[in-house]
Amino acid sequence: MTRLEAILADITTVDVDVIVNAANSSLAGGGGVDGAIHRAGGPEILDDCRAIVAARGRLGTGDAVLTTAGRLPARHLIHTVGPIWGTLPEDEAIALLASAYQNSLQLAAQTTARTIAFPNISTGVYRFPKQLAAETAVGAVRSWVNDHSEAFETVTFVCFDDENLAFYRHLLP
């Protein structure tokens, strides 16, 4: 049975099998968690990302791809693109955010990973309302792990501030 947890931490320091990156569609490394992951992980990550974009083009919202984790403590890094709040109808934005979580889980399950850590996807510069993002993330992950209960030991939501942590702790037993 998969355990869901929320912690307050720097995702680049979390010791898990897979770290998920809240990436932009160009996979070029940006600000926020994306920039922090690229800086901490080193140039190998950007090299992998450039090869992916060269082969398939920009990553669509809700999609996920796997790269090296470089110098991060994880064995794998998954990049996913969350929706930008206010650019789509609300129900579509929620569905795409849920897809970002579920597609990342599906991709991670194809590795030997037993533990995975997610940032608060889309809640920074993409302005997704934090409480709604937490509800969407927990709901999407719960739904996926209910159908794949043995896929992971632990799914960790790594929160970057106390406000996000409070939303997740309220939603998780």
Closest CA to 128 of 90, 168, 162: 90
28-31 — which CB contacts under 8 Å span 24+ positions? 28/53, 30/125, 31/124, 31/125
In the chain, the number of structural domains is 1
What is the extent of the structural domain holding 50?
3-171
| Residue with tokens 């996913």, as numbered in its chain | 80
Q: pLDDT digits over 102-156, tens only?
A: 999 999 999 999 999 999 999 999 999 999 999 999 999 999 999 998 999 999 9
Position 74 pLDDT exceeds 90: yes
Instruction: Decide if 105 contacts 141 (C-beta within 8 A).
Output: yes
- Cα–Cα–Cα angle for 84, 48, 87, rounded to 5 degrees: 10
Catalytic positions, written as ranges = 34
What's the pLDDT band for 64 if we cut at 50, 70, 90?
very high
Instruction: Give pTM, 2 decimals.
Output: 0.97
pLDDT of residue 30: 84
For residue 1, count CB atoms less than 10 angstroms from its CB and return exposed for 0-12, middle for 13-18, buried for 19 or more.
exposed
Residue 69's CATH number: 3.40.220.10
